[in-house]
Amino acid sequence: MPNQAPLLLRHHRPFIAFWLARVFTASGFQMLTVAIGWNLYQLTGNVLDLGLVGLVEFAPRVLFMLHTGHVADRYDRRKVAAICQSLQALIALSLAIGSATDHVTREMIFILAFLLGAARSFEMPTTQALLPSIVPSALFPRAVAAAQSAQQSATIVAPALGGLLYAFGSVWVYGPTVILYLIACALMLNLPARQTPLNKGKATLDSLLAGIRFIRSRPDILGAISLDLFAVLLGGATALLPVFAKDILLTGPWGLGLLRSAPAVGALLMSLFLARFAVERNVGRVMFTAVGVFGVATIAFGLSTSFWFSLAVLVVLGAADMISMVIRASFVQLETPDEMRGRVSAVNGLFIGASNQLGEFESGLTAHWFGTVPAVVMGGIGTLMVTGAWIKLFPTLANRDRMHVPVEEVRV
């Protein structure tokens, strides 16, 4: 059966539609992000504005965290995802029309960036909660890995494509992005309907906080989510890559581009491997080992003065991060009841976003205080310390054997 599982996944039509939708939405977002950044910088010439755009896009994830999960659990997830993708298509269309008529302003970009962040804050927990209902549980870890391959492929290819198209004018980026989102919307609406009953309860404070309470009541889930938060928060070195490229590795913009894409290349290769050979036993040990490798790779990158060695280390870093992410995402979704998956995914999404955003801030702050190389090395050491501490704090997670133990096996 394990040898047949990948074949079944490839021939599982609902998943293929879901996978293609992920490719189109991820590609659309990457292209849109590139175009918005260039467009805004051309308008204002202010580097601070580029940072503010990211902050504006992240703000809705915090503002609507409790509501996004409730919406994913109460309404048809296919329709919620489709509405979010339609809104993103309208945002791209507005920018296309504004560019064609030369009416794009700084204020317009910030407003649309907020709306883009709001749409994505509802879309992410919805699509995460949707996946377990369209594939058998036995195939779910492979489905998570394959879905991530779609995300990583878009991360590698779409920004370059967006930059190439922007050379012909911003409309040439915004226009195709509209089409990508609309295709994704159509694919989502064609997915099979939800089999479990919808949560018809009202959006009370108690129901909105149910996801947080559920995570607190499950030590393994709490441990996995918080491990990712602190490991990435301390070990992330992405924000400092321009400094390494220019001042330490002595390369140019082309080198910076390769350094930025290297983790995504490692993640893509590992996601393709895990889609074929899923981790089925000793999942806790494998996950903690992967986080440890992430920390060691971060230290090696910080100490490296060779461009090619740094590139290789970043590939390893991205691959290790992907192993941890697939295991975490798989068992968190499998251990969460379907009626709670939206709210749990919303909390998880906030943790992921916070680790990335705050991780960049932490890297910049420690680099300012201690220097670039010490900041990265200290971050890697911090990741290893967190890994050791979490093994002690969450022993059942560290010793976890399988993704999910069926109820009938627990009773036996």
**Separation CA 408–CA 306 (nearest Å):** 54
**Per mean pLDDT, which range of 49-58, 92-101, 241-250 is the poorest?**
49-58
**Separation CA 275–CA 298 (nearest Å):** 25
**Separation CA 412–CA 113 (nearest Å):** 52
**Separation CA 311–CA 254 (nearest Å):** 13
What mean pLDDT is reported for the chain? 80
pLDDT value, residue 188: 92
Query: In the 3-class helix/strand/coil scheme, how is the chain assigned residue by residue?
Result: CCCCHHHHHHCCHHHHHHHHHHHHHHHHHHHHHHHHHHHHHHHHCCHHHHHHHHHHHHHHHHHCHHHHHHHHHHCCHHHHHHHHHHHHHHHHHHHHHHHHCCCCCHHHHHHHHHHHHHHHHHHHHHHHHHHHHCCCHHHHHHHHHHHHHHHHHHHHHHHHHHHHHHCCCCHHHHHHHHHHHHHHHHHHHCCCCCCCCCCCCCCCHHHHCHHHHHHHHCHHHHHHHHHHHHHHHHHCCHHHHHHHHHHHCCCCHHHHHHHHHHHHHHHHHHHHHHHHCCCCCCHHHHHHHHHHHHHHHHHHHHHCCCHHHHHHHHHHHHHHHHHHHHHHHHHHHHHCCHHHHHHHHHHHHHHHHHHHHHHHHHHHHHHHHHCHHHHHHHHHHHHHHHHHHHHHHCHHHHCCCCCCCCHHHHHC
Cβ pair 35, 164 in contact under 8 A: no
Q: Which residue has the higher pLDDT, 97 or 336?
A: 97
Which of 150-177 are b and which e, b meaning 16 or more Cβ less than 10 Å from the residue's Cβ?
bbbbbbbbbbebbbebbeeebbbbbbbb
pLDDT value, residue 231: 78
Q: Which of 3, 19, 117, 12 is nearest to 68 (CA)?
A: 117
pLDDT value, residue 184: 94
Q: For 354-363, what is each residue's pLDDT tens digit?
A: 666 566 566 6
pLDDT value, residue 409: 41
Query: Is pLDDT of 273 > 60?
Result: yes
pLDDT value, residue 258: 75
Q: What is the pTM of this model?
A: 0.71
pLDDT category at 90 given cuts 50, 70, 90 is: very high
For residue 207, CA distances in Å to 78, 309, 381 come to 21, 50, 39
Mean pLDDT, to the nearest integer, of 119-136?
Answer: 84
Torsion of CA 292, 62, 368, 258, to 10 degrees: 60
Mean pLDDT, to the nearest integer, of 85-97?
Answer: 95
Q: Which residue has the higher pLDDT, 202 or 121?
A: 121
**Separation CA 62–CA 33 (nearest Å):** 20
- By percentage, how much of the chain surpasses pLDDT 90? 21
pLDDT value, residue 53: 76
pLDDT category at 201 given cuts 50, 70, 90 is: low
**Separation CA 114–CA 29 (nearest Å):** 14
**Per mean pLDDT, which range of 20-34, 153-167, 343-357, 365-379 is the poorest?**
343-357
Q: Calculate ∠ Cα 158-25-79, nearest 5°.
A: 175
**Separation CA 65–CA 354 (nearest Å):** 12
Q: For 291-311, what is each residue's pLDDT tens digit?
A: 999 999 999 998 998 989 998
pLDDT category at 410 given cuts 50, 70, 90 is: very low
Query: Is pLDDT of 313 > 90?
Result: yes
